[in-house]
Structure 1
Amino acid sequence: MIIDTLANADKYTSVHPLFAQAFEYIKNTDLAAIEVGKYEIADGLKAIVSSKVGMTAQESEAKFECHNNNIDIQVCISGNETFGWKTRNECKSQKGDYNPEKDVLFYNDEPSMHFTLNDNQFVVFFPEDVHAPMIGEDEIKKMVIKVRK
């Protein structure tokens, strides 16, 4: 997992072959004005923009998730978004089977930590990062870039 501000995004372009293009897309997009929806960026890169009121930790942690084939770059555009997190190696209670169509696997485990992103901060979740997003009381606008592993 990586947590940082968009001002430092260039430091991470070498982590994955598609990260430079993903962060370039974020930098060249008017995040305040972008509409809610799905955007195809390039082969192996897509963006999902959402804006909704956050949920309780209990609601979010009921869908404590990770991905096998995608890396998430989650950008907080506005609001305060809290996440639960735990490494997949420490999760013991898988909830159901892996869904290859949606590239998602859920766990019944509880996060080992929580952290909060504010405007223009981002987190990168790799396949080993189990996460519970969208925890908050107010409106959260965010962009998730799905990066094919």
Structure 2
Amino acid sequence: MLVGNVKKNSISESYPFVVNDVLSKLNEIDLSSLPLGRHELDGYDSKKLWFVILEYHTSPLSDFHPEVHKYHSDLQILLSGTELMAWSIDTGNHPHFGDYNDTRDILFYESDCVNLNIMNAMPGDFYLFTPNVVHITNVINKEPEFVRKLVVKIHNDLLAGVL
């Protein structure tokens, strides 16, 4: 897992190349005007890296199951609104909630069997959930809130050697 700011700064030099490159390209786009749904990013194979624009109202933690991915990392960026995000290291021993969905590259775990850490996610920061990190996002922080978010799906191959 990696947390940082979307704007270039002295720390961003230590981010993996693909993260810096994606952030640089996203900073050149008017993200507020992009329609909801899936988008491609110039210079990347659309099967290895793409992003989606989402809008929703935050919901209670109890509405979600912890999720994990095998082949992709989630680079999540709040464009507006705030939410809580929960995470934990994947031990591989958590009871599954359903089967692995290979089309979506997602596996859910039983909620009460994962000890989660909670953080307050804010616009301008990014949250990279790598395949070894169980996570829940879209969680209410005090009051339901409207959120606009960008999620970049990055294939493990593009992060090889840094995971």
**Matches of 1:58 and 1:29, distance apart in 2:** 35
The residue that corresponds to 1:75 in the other structure is 77
Q: 1:20, CA displacement in angstroms?
A: 3.4
Report the TM-score when normalising by structure 2. Answer: 0.81
The residue that corresponds to 1:25 in the other structure is 25
Out of 22, 45, 50, the position equivalent to 2:49 is 45
Cα shift readout 1:6-52 (whole Å, capped 9, x = no counterpart): 12473354x2x532332122211222222211102221110100111
SS at match of 1:84: strand
SS at match of 2:91: helix
Matched pairs, number:
145
**Matches of 2:93 and 2:60, distance apart in 1:** 21
Task: Tell me if structure 1 keeps the 8 A contact 2:7–2:23.
Answer: no
Q: 1:119, CA displacement in angstroms?
A: 1.3
Identity %: 21
One-letter amino acid of the counterpart of residue 47, structure 1:
F
SS at match of 2:97: strand
2:147 counterpart of 1:140: yes
SS at match of 1:68: coil
SS at match of 2:32: coil
The residue that corresponds to 2:62 in the other structure is 58
* Rg larger for: 2
Q: 1:90, CA displacement in angstroms?
A: 6.8
**Matches of 2:114 and 2:5, distance apart in 1:** 26
Out of 85, 88, 94, the position equivalent to 1:86 is 88
Alpha carbons of 1:90 and 1:45: their partners in 2 closer, same or farther (altered >3 Å)? closer
Two-structure CA RMSD over aligned residues (Å): 1.8
Unaligned runs of 5+ in 1: none
**Matches of 1:47 and 1:112, distance apart in 2:** 26
2:132 counterpart of 1:128: yes
**Matches of 1:5 and 1:66, distance apart in 2:** 23
Report the TM-score when normalising by structure 1. Answer: 0.88
The residue that corresponds to 2:5 in the other structure is 5
